[in-house]
Amino acid sequence: MSSFSKIFNELVKGLSCFPGVGRRSAERMVFYILKMQPDQIKELAKKMEEIHNYIKPCKICNNFSTKDVCSICSSDKREKDIICVVEEPKDIMAIEKTSRYNGLYYCLLGSISPMEGIGGEDLNLRKLISRIEQGGVKEIVISTDPDHDGELTAQFVVQKLSKYNIKIYRIAIGIPLGAQIEYIDSATLGKAFLERKAVA
């Protein structure tokens, strides 16, 4: 058996890989774990394994799902002729919280990033384009982050979709430039949806 400090440090190192968790926070988490009941820990570990094993991308929109098609794409209560384009599944969660949008989504699973050498051609637009080509889509609302990479991504998506007979909107970001969709409060994000502007 390894020593306490070895196990402690390995767990601190493991937890430090989470976004926003530095070494000190990771240490506090480990001390907290030591105080938890064994059942609580087992349940937590089980949930972490479950989310990894059973969650997969929706084959239509790339949102997280336990089934081939996510609950939003398969709902008969959503407007099917409007698609909101986002960078990541967490942006879908943020937009859903606003209750200001009732259409469908398409998740790019990334954005253009010159710093990381990711260009427009690296974005996966194929499934979105085939949905548009199948007909029935009237409106696209581009909701990429209002930062440099998000704006480049929005411009690229507009360029790729402008030849189709659809309306293309960008959410009206009166929100501080450089913000990320997931951190914008629901009221502001909801307003940005209501006041979306036509870009093509």
Residue tagged 């942006």 (tokens)? 91
Per the CB < 8 A criterion, the answer to whether 164 and 83 are in contact is: no
Pattern of binders to Zn ion over 71-110, x per CB under 5 A? --x-------------------------------------
Pattern of binders to Zn ion over 22-61, x per CB under 5 A? ------------------------------------x-xx
Pattern of binders to Zn ion over 158-177, x per CB under 5 A? --------------------
Minimum CB separation of residue 80 from Zn ion in Å reads 12
C-beta of 128 vs 173, nearer to Zn ion: 128
141 binds Zn ion (CB under 5 A): no
- Binder of Zn ion out of 70, 112, 141, 184 (CB under 5 A): 70
153 binds Zn ion (CB under 5 A): no
Provide the binding-site residues for Zn ion, judged by CB under 5 A: 58, 60-61, 63, 70, 73
